[in-house]
Amino acid sequence: MGNTHYSNAFKTVAVLLQMVFLIIVIVVFSLLVNLFGRSMFTLSDVGTDSFFDSSYYTKVLSGQLVDLGNYLQFQGSREKSEKDTIKYKQYKMQFEGENSNLYYWYENGGNIRTNMEIEEKYQREYVLKYARELGSYLYYDDSRIYFEGNIKGKSYYFQRNILRLFQNSGENGGLIVAVDMHLPNDDEIKEAADIYYAYFPWVEISVFLGILSSMCFVLFIIYLTLATGRNDEDETIRLYRIDYLPMEILLAVFLIYISFLFAFCAKLGQKSWDIASSLILAGTLVFISDGVLLTLYLSLVRKIKADIFVSTSLLGWSVRTVKKRMRLQPYKRGTVIRMVFLVVVAFFFAEEAFGKGRWWGYVGLLAEIALVFTCTLSQENQRMEILSGITQITGGNMDYKFVESDYTGECRIMAERINNIGMGLSNAVEENLKSERLKTELITNVSHDIKTPLTSIINYVNLIKMENIQNEKIENYVDILEKKSMRLKQLTEDLMEVSKISSGNIELDMQQINMVELIYQTGGEFNEIFEEKGLTIITRLPKEPVMIFADGSRLWRVVQNLYNNAAKYALKDTRVYVELKVEEGWAEFSMKDISEQELETAPDDLSERFVRGDESRGTEGSGLGLSIARSLTNLMGGTFEIHLDGDLFTVSIVFPCIGFSAGT
Amino acid sequence: MNRILVCDDDKEIVEAIEIYLQQEGYEILKAFDGEEAIKILEQEEVDLLIIDVMMPRLDGIHATLKIREKSSIPIIMLSAKSEDSDKILGLNIGADDYLTKPFNPLELVARVKSQLRRYTKLGNAAESPGVLYQSGGLLINDDLKEVTVDGELVKLTPIEYNILLLLMKNQGKVFSISEIYQKIWNAEAIGADNTVAVHIRHIREKIEINPKEPRYIKVVWGVGYKIDKV
């Protein structure tokens, strides 16, 4: 189905065309129905093109024959009522003289009546011959009860009318009716023929058009059925909002519409319409109906395609819901049995009480109500208690325990299970704490164990250095050993610190301290280290004290790590900017330097453990400095952030001020 | 000739310390656990004890406690435990100094020297004339404008001397940078300056064995500087 044409343009065209074709079909259909209704056309007329072969002619002729029959009967009777006289005159006008294309010849009891203007009108043979020459004729010989003629559908219908004329006839009765096929006179037959010839060619075209349009309509409907919901891009079925409506609603819309349509049509049918108006009306109705019905139909098709027909239906939903709700749990089966039992007992008591008026029926009923009421209330109570217990546990009180004997039924099971969960939870938390403690202990112990051999290494390396070494190589090696052993020392110390901080195993001595003082103090510690590297510290501090709440020695540790970091990694002979700003009650310490090495790490990774700005260099530091600084800052309630902008490295630490006085 | 008892369960450390101290001309006795150390102390004349904390049989803490029942010799405690609380514990039960492993051997030597000087010479210092200020091994003779640490003379610049004197006169009091500035320079502290902090560091480098772990001039971070009353 990949690249067949399901584009929206195609679909739109298909929708429009199918509608056009449907309108044609319906118009043709209503035209034909109209013609059928006037008996101007029947199915047997298909393929004939002569008026005299059509059933319309038969119908007109039979009407004429009825009139003729009446006329002939009036002629025979002596006494006529006034009404009959008028009719008689009308008939006479109809059949006698120049007005009629219909000719009759009637013989009954020796009398012959005819409107034929021929000489041999008393000789039946001649008359019959003449009638045959006229074209369309009918002949009845009463003596032989014999019919003859070339009029379609003559049979029974005519026969009855004709036989009526000979009910009390003598011998030799007979009737010849003939129609001059040239229709020289203006009478009803001529009129009918005119109408017939006016409509008939259209009928043929209409039928042809109708069949063709029906086929096209069906084709387009098939296309739309295939195309709806699909598109050229992918295989998924596109659904519209209407498609999510339950099938039952669509069905209801369909039924309501159809009933309205029928009611409307029935109302229309009460009036008579001329062909043109009825066609316009039919067209309009078809247009609307097609729109409505096609929408419903295509939605149905899409539902089936997307396989949501059942799932979106109300029936499907109800079945699913019922299934879900009614899935009987083992212990719920007991509940159902209990409920059935209670209902049965209630019926029994009710019958006894209201039916037979027995006093114990009332008592039993009341007792049952009381029982059910108490049980329900007690269960509800227990449930509420359990709920509040669960709230406590989720709120962090993991040691909360239900007294299991306080509960009955389901609630007891719940209480037991929740107790188990609570126990598991507090065990898990305890385990976690324990393992965290063990981890810290392990790191501390290992660090201690490392320190002892490290002491020997440092001592003996130093001893080697004190020997008078002539060999430059060895001197070099010893230098490396010394550096590395010092690094190892730093590393173990940092490691312990990190493990302590991360396990929360440190006590903070929080005091009011002056950040400005601390920065000056730190600056004093570092000025020579910075000078050695050609780094200039530009310090911008407020003149007034900036008081914050922190542990001074830990904050020194933080700032020390930052200064160390700058001393180690800043580009030689550059400036390092240290700034303290107070803004809206926040003290922000920041330090900016230009990194010697390209910084490839993400800012946040820099303070992650064991990551340094330059991962390649491994001479100094343990890579824990920034991590320690961040952890300590956070522990004291400050925020620690690192920004990288090219080689510009910025660290900022923010603490809330205590009663600050405006600065900068 | 001073006799020093070195006690550590790690033989190599003991030997290394022995080498360093012998180079300085001390006589060394060796012990490898607390009990052994106590035994030696009972039998021999010892001027100073270097003792490790974590040892089998009898650890350094308990050994020190026992020793202090009878003897007042200087004790330098060695330990891999670097916690402040460990140090405080060590000093509280009677150790005179506390050095964390791994230590710089030269620092150990310096501390040994300092302890011995204090132990032997301190008594005499009090006899010299003039106004004296003392904190532990730190002594200022304001008449002579002399500063000695464990009996050893330390040369300070006039400003350094004045700062130290200020702190020594007001032991236990914390001076902020601007206070020190006002008192020493007799002027308002103007703007950003590390001057005081730099001077303090210089003083520390001169009077402390390990300036990073000062015994005398303590930094109260974010507040100022002080010298503790001993």
CB A625 within 8 A of CB A487: no
* Predicted confidence band of residue B126 (pLDDT cuts 50, 70, 90): low
B230 touches chain A (CB under 8 A): no
A623-659 tens-digit pLDDT: 678 888 888 898 898 999 888 888 888 889 999 988 7
Collect all residues of chain A within an 8 Å Cβ-Cβ radius of residue B10. 452, 455-456
* Predicted confidence band of residue B49 (pLDDT cuts 50, 70, 90): very high
Collect all residues of chain A within an 8 Å Cβ-Cβ radius of residue B220. 552
Lowest mean pLDDT among A109-123, A391-405, B15-29, B114-128: B114-128
Domain assignment present for A340: yes
In sequence order, the β-bridge partners of residue B220 are B224
Collect all residues of chain B within an 8 Å Cβ-Cβ radius of residue A513. 221-223
Q: Considering A167, A196, A225, which residue would you say is the last residue of a domain?
A: A196
* Predicted confidence band of residue A103 (pLDDT cuts 50, 70, 90): confident
* Alpha-carbon gap, residue A440 to A427, rounded angstroms: 20
Q: Is the confidence at residue A423, as pLDDT, over 50?
A: yes
Q: Which residues contact B18 (CB under 8 A, 6 or more apart)?
A: B6, B28, B30
Domain assignment present for A406: no
Domain assignment present for A16: yes
Q: Å from B138 to nearest chain A CA?
A: 22
Residue range of the domain that includes A151: 44-196
Q: Is the confidence at residue B124, as pLDDT, over 70?
A: no
For chain B, give every domain's residue range: 3-122, 128-227
What SS3 class is residue A655?
A: strand
Q: Considering A157, A172, A196, which residue would you say is the last residue of a domain?
A: A196
Domain assignment present for A402: no
Tell me what pLDDT residue A600 has.
Answer: 66
* Alpha-carbon gap, residue A486 to A480, rounded angstroms: 10
Domain assignment present for A1: no
Nearest to A552 by CA among B194, B216, B220: B220
Q: Is the confidence at residue A320, as pLDDT, over 90?
A: no
Tell me what pLDDT residue A612 has.
Answer: 46
* Alpha-carbon gap, residue B196 to B176, rounded angstroms: 9
Question: What count of other Cβ atoms lies within 10 Å of the Cβ of residue B63?
Answer: 27
* Predicted confidence band of residue A663 (pLDDT cuts 50, 70, 90): very low
Interface test with B, best of A444, A446, A455 (most B CBs within 10 A): A455
Q: Are strands B132-135 and B138-141 parallel, antiparallel or unpaired?
A: antiparallel
Q: Å from B187 to nearest chain A CA?
A: 15
Task: Give A215-283 as a DSSP string.
Answer: HHHHHHHHHHHHHTT--SS-SPPP--GGGGS-HHHHHHHHHHHHHHHHHHHHHHHHS---HHHHHHHHH
Q: Distance from CA of residue A277 to its chain's centroid?
A: 43
- pLDDT, greater one: A77 or A261: A261
Nearest CA in chain B to A523: B194
Q: Is the confidence at residue A611, as pLDDT, over 80?
A: no
Residues A479 and A558 in one domain: no
The reply to whether the predicted model has a pTM over 0.90 is no
Residues A119 and A204 in one domain: no
What is residue B143's DSSP assignment? T
In sequence order, the β-bridge partners of residue A583 are A586
Tell me what pLDDT residue A620 has.
Answer: 47
**A650, A655, A657, A658: CA torsion to nearest 10:** -150
Tell me what pLDDT residue A610 has.
Answer: 46
CB atoms B194 and A524 under 8 Å: yes
* Predicted confidence band of residue A602 (pLDDT cuts 50, 70, 90): low
Looking up tokens 């208690």 gives A385
A663 touches chain B (CB under 8 A): no
* Predicted confidence band of residue A618 (pLDDT cuts 50, 70, 90): very low
Into how many domains does chain A fold?
A: 5
**A523, A529, A533, A539: CA torsion to nearest 10:** 0
Q: Å from B131 to nearest chain A CA?
A: 30
* Alpha-carbon gap, residue A176 to A154, rounded angstroms: 13
Q: Which residues contact B121 (CB under 8 A, 6 or more apart)?
A: B150, B151
- pLDDT, greater one: A166 or A535: A535
Q: Which residues contact B94 (CB under 8 A, 6 or more apart)?
A: B64, B65, B67, B68, B75
* Predicted confidence band of residue A590 (pLDDT cuts 50, 70, 90): very high
Q: What angle do CA B134, B139, B140 make, to 5 degrees?
A: 100
What average pLDDT score do residues A88-103 get?
A: 80
Q: Which amino acid is at A132?
A: R
Length of chain A: 664
Tell me what pLDDT residue B7 has.
Answer: 93
Domain assignment present for A364: yes
Residues A592 and A605 in one domain: yes
A205-243 burial string, b = 16+ CB within 10 Å, else e? ebbebbeebbebbeebbebbbebbbbeeeeeebebeeeb
Collect all residues of chain B within an 8 Å Cβ-Cβ radius of residue A463. 16, 19-20, 105
Mean pLDDT value across chain B? 86
Q: Which amino acid is at A96?
A: E
Nearest to B117 by CA among B153, B93, B157, B144: B153
Q: Å from A457 to nearest chain B CA?
A: 9
| HSE-up of residue B15 (Cα within 13 Å, Cβ side) | 7
A180-235 tens-digit pLDDT: 888 888 888 888 888 888 777 777 788 888 899 999 999 999 988 888 888 777 77
Looking up tokens 């550059």 gives A574
Tell me what pLDDT residue A255 has.
Answer: 92
Mean pLDDT value across chain A? 81
Encoding tokens for residue A219?
A: 């084709």
Tell me what pLDDT residue A278 has.
Answer: 73
A424-440 tens-digit pLDDT: 888 888 888 888 888 88
CB B32 within 8 A of CB B14: yes
* Alpha-carbon gap, residue A176 to A103, rounded angstroms: 8
> CB contacts < 8 Å between A and B, how many?
107
CB A640 within 8 A of CB A570: no
Residues A601 and A483 in one domain: no
A639 touches chain B (CB under 8 A): no
Residues A164 and A267 in one domain: no
- Edge to edge, the sheet with strand A102-108 lists A111-114, A102-108, A174-180, A135-141, A146-149
In sequence order, the β-bridge partners of residue B63 are none
Q: Which amino acid is at B88?
A: I
Task: Give A576-610 as a DSSP string.
Answer: EEEEEEEETTEEEEEEEEEBSSPP-S-HHHHTSTT
Residues A27 and A86 in one domain: no
What SS3 class is residue B31?
A: strand
CB atoms A485 and B196 under 8 Å: no
Residues A48 and A185 in one domain: yes
Domain assignment present for A465: yes
Residues A526 and A494 in one domain: no
B219 touches chain A (CB under 8 A): yes
CB atoms B102 and A514 under 8 Å: no
What is residue A571's DSSP assignment? P
CB A463 within 8 A of CB A481: no
Residues A162 and A279 in one domain: no
Which of the given ranges, A380-384, A467-471, B211-215, has the highest pLDDT on average? Answer: A380-384
Encoding tokens for residue A484?
A: 């590395």
Nearest CA in chain A to B177: A517
A483-495 tens-digit pLDDT: 888 888 888 888 8
Tell me what pLDDT residue A355 has.
Answer: 82
Q: Is the confidence at residue B76, as pLDDT, over 90?
A: yes
CB atoms B222 and A463 under 8 Å: no
Tell me what pLDDT residue A603 has.
Answer: 62
Residues A581 and A455 in one domain: no
Q: Which residues contact A576 (CB under 8 A, 6 or more apart)?
A: A530, A535, A536, A537, A538, A566, A570, A591, A592, A593
CB atoms A459 and B101 under 8 Å: no
Positions of E strands within A471-620: 511-514, 536-540, 547-550, 575-583, 586-594
> Which H or E run contains A210?
helix A188-227
Tell me what pLDDT residue B197 has.
Answer: 87
Percentage of residues in chain A having pLDDT higher than 70? 89
Domain assignment present for A408: no
Q: What angle do CA B175, B181, B187 make, to 5 degrees?
A: 140
Residues A71 and A168 in one domain: yes
Complex confidence, ipTM: 0.83
Candidate from A451, A527, A541 with C-beta closest to B198: A527
Note the CATH architecture for domain B3-122: 3-Layer(aba) Sandwich (3.40)
Candidate from A456, A496, A556 with C-beta closest to B221: A556
A235-289 tens-digit pLDDT: 788 888 888 888 888 889 889 999 998 888 888 777 777 767 777 887 788 888 8
Tell me what pLDDT residue A314 has.
Answer: 86
Looking up tokens 């920034």 gives A626
What is residue A98's DSSP assignment? G
* Predicted confidence band of residue A616 (pLDDT cuts 50, 70, 90): very low
Q: Which amino acid is at A460?
A: Y
Q: Considering A164, A196, A228, which residue would you say is the last residue of a domain?
A: A196
Q: Is the confidence at residue A454, as pLDDT, over 80?
A: yes
What is residue A543's DSSP assignment? S
Coarse DSSP helix, strand, coil percentages of chain A, rounded to the nearest 5 percent? 65, 10, 25
CATH class belonging to B128-227: mainly alpha
What is residue A355's DSSP assignment? I
* Predicted confidence band of residue B28 (pLDDT cuts 50, 70, 90): very high
Q: Distance from CA of residue A241 to its chain's centroid?
A: 6
Phi, psi dihedrals of residue B78, rounded to the nearest 5° = -110, 140
CB atoms B80 and A448 under 8 Å: yes
Nearest to B205 by CA among A523, A524, A482, A562: A524
Nearest to A600 by CA among A621, A625, A617: A617
* Predicted confidence band of residue B196 (pLDDT cuts 50, 70, 90): confident
* Alpha-carbon gap, residue B6 to B11, rounded angstroms: 10
What average pLDDT score do residues A14-26 get?
A: 87
